[in-house]
Amino acid sequence: MLILALLALALLIGFAFVGSDWSDVLSPVRNDLVFAERNRAYGAYRLRREHHRVLGLSALIALGLASLVFTLPRLWYGPQEISRPPADRAIIVELKDFVVPSAVKPDLPVVKPKAASTGAKPNPSDLPPIAVDSAAAPVDTTARTKDLGPNLDTLGHAAKTPVLPPGGGGGSSPVKTKGTMGMNEAEFAPEYPGGLKALYAYLGRTVRYPEIDREARRQGRVVLGFVVDEEGNVTEITVLSGVSRTLDAEAVRVVKRMGRWKPGRHRGEAVRVSYQLPISFRLSDQ
């Protein structure tokens, strides 16, 4: 603002003192000739003669007042200092190296799959049950099938007259559907794509031990019954022998996510076949 005021003052002074030719009404030469034989005490001559001096004085007064308006606040209040927080209030955060503990993997037996199925019915004494470990979800190859009862083999295959074992959390009788054959009735049993090895691998990577059951130290065997229809779809899933609602629901969820099976066949035609599958939930430290 001060620079603009100085520029305005310079322009006023320039206009006040520039222009001494005959066309300028305020030119001293012209005024002397005009008022040579006239009364110079008349106000017009005096106004024209003192015009430049009055204009310059007015500009100086205006510039002084403008400068005073802008400089008085600074002189009155003084320079303002920006307050900064004291250095002793600084918060120092020390970061320490955090080491992520490595997960301990339990030693589990290696699954050795049997030879590929040739269409014959599996031997109950050769097939292990499916087990789920709390730390991981591997396939357990330890054959523990005596508690399933005499009519359930190691993969849960039902005989013609199934007898259910005493169960944990809940269970229901399998629904008998018209046109559905048992495992021992069909000439060729349903088969999971890729055989038993692929079934073990699927269950091992899909089943998750529920956290609520792990905290409650709850474990046991869930036996599911379902039907593989003529197109290989898994339908009519039923909990035959349960442990708890969460363990039963996890087993049902995994079976529902299965893809299509190779359907069972009887006398050259695809048929509906009932199937039973036990899944053991077992804590790793037991």
Among 83-87, 92-96, 159-163, 205-209, the range scoring the smallest mean pLDDT is: 159-163
- The whole-number average pLDDT for the span 176-194 is 81
Neighbours of 269 (CB within 10 A): 10
Among 192, 252, 201, CA closest to 222:
252
Per-residue pLDDT for 63 more than 90? no
Answer yes or no: are the C-beta atoms of 197 and 217 closer than 8 Å.
Answer: no
The span from the CA of 137 to the CA of 254, in Å, is 12
Q: Which two tokens stand for residue 173?
A: 């009788």
Query: Which residue did the predictor score with more confidence, 111 or 224?
Result: 224
Instruction: Count the alpha carbons within 13 Å of 9 in the hemisphere toward its beta carbon.
Output: 18
Amino acid letter for position 77 = Y
Quote the DSSP letter at residue 123.
Answer: P
Distance CA 55, CA 18 (A): 13
CA dihedral 77, 78, 82, 88 (to 10 degrees): -100
Quick one: pLDDT band at residue 60, thresholds 50, 70, 90?
Answer: confident
Give the Cα separation of 15 and 271 in Å (integer): 115
3-class secondary-structure state, position 239: strand
- The enclosing H or E element of 23 equals none
- Say what the pTM is: 0.42
Residues 6+ apart with CB under 8 A from 277: 130, 155, 156, 223, 224, 225, 226, 255
